[in-house]
Amino acid sequence: MTHNIVLVGMPASGKTTIGTLLAEKLDGYSLYDTDSIIEKTQGMTINEIFEKFSEDYFRKLEYDTIKMVCTGKNRIISIGGGSFENPDNRATLLKFGKVFYLKSDLDILYYRISQDSTRPLLQRENPRQILENMLKKREENYKRAHFTVDTSSLSEDEIVRFIINETNSAS
């Protein structure tokens, strides 16, 4: 297996969790979380980057980071929820990896987000409605992934097994 594995989906869809588990199970694979890479290289949180600079500035950092991580092999790449909206990001990710959309029901996403007080979405008025609108807007692009994994009724191990099996059969 020599493909990069790319995880896309809404905030709280399990990208980082599943990415971490995949990295533990697959010899020679490492996890690259683009948001974490950006925060580390910039020395500030995503929210701080938005506030201090702009969303456009962040999106440029995101694009550069995605291009950089896609150049390697045997990488598990977890991207920010909005990254797949950018056509250039999408094309790069689809070209250099097998892209898996981690699809979750709105109620599950909202529950997970509500359990994490650090989520920026919770600082806004009517977060559930914002999440629903975000999902409607992004769903069309998420469906362009090579594979959709409906995580609503699957365990973490089942999701990991599915991704490994599909990646092996795509080799």
CA–CA dist 114, 16 (Å, integer)? 17
CATH of domain 4-170: 3.40.50.300
Q: In this predicted structure, what is the pLDDT of residue 83?
A: 94
CA–CA dist 62, 134 (Å, integer)? 19
Helix%, strand%, coil% for the chain, nearest 5: 60, 15, 25
Q: Using the 8-state DSSP alphabet, how is residue 57 labeled?
A: H
Q: In this predicted structure, what is the pLDDT of residue 1?
A: 44
Q: In this predicted structure, what is the pLDDT of residue 76?
A: 98
- Ordered mean pLDDT values, 10 residues apiece, the chain (171 residues): 85 94 95 96 91 92 96 94 94 96 94 78 78 94 97 95 90 57
Compute the chain's Rg from CA coordinates: 15
**DSSP string for residues in 62-85:** HHHHHHHHHTSSSEEEE--TTGGG
* Residue 75 main-chain phi, psi, to 5 deg: -115, 140
Question: Residues 6 or more apart from 73 whose CB is under 8 A from it?
Answer: 2, 3, 4
Q: In this predicted structure, what is the pLDDT of residue 117?
A: 72
Q: Quote the pTM value.
A: 0.93
- The residue ranges of every structural domain in the chain are 4-170
Q: Positive or negative, the Cα torsion across 123, 124, 126, 132?
A: negative
